[in-house]
Amino acid sequence: MMVLMEAAAKTSEFPLAFTLVYAVGFVAAVVIGSIAWYNSKRPPGWEDKSRPDIVPEVDNKEE
């Protein structure tokens, strides 16, 4: 049993690729979520605020 625990402890280094995938995914989710939030209807008090130049305009086909 101790041999298995020692083997698991020696190989428990988390691969860098998995960490990079999670970090890139998190950044992408934040960016996409921010764009979606800016393109949604404004919360109360934000109706007269201008859209930042970096956020693209998305056409709403429902209106």
Q: Which residue has the tokens 């999670």?
A: 22
Output the six-digit token pair for 32.
């996409």
pLDDT at 29: 97
Rg of the chain (C-alpha set)? 22
Q: How far apart are CA 19 and CA 15, in angstroms?
A: 7
Residues 57, 40 contacting (CB under 8 angstroms): no
pLDDT in tens, 13-61: 678 888 899 999 999 999 999 888 877 776 677 777 777 777 777 777 7
Spans of all domains in the chain: 16-46
pLDDT at 63: 54
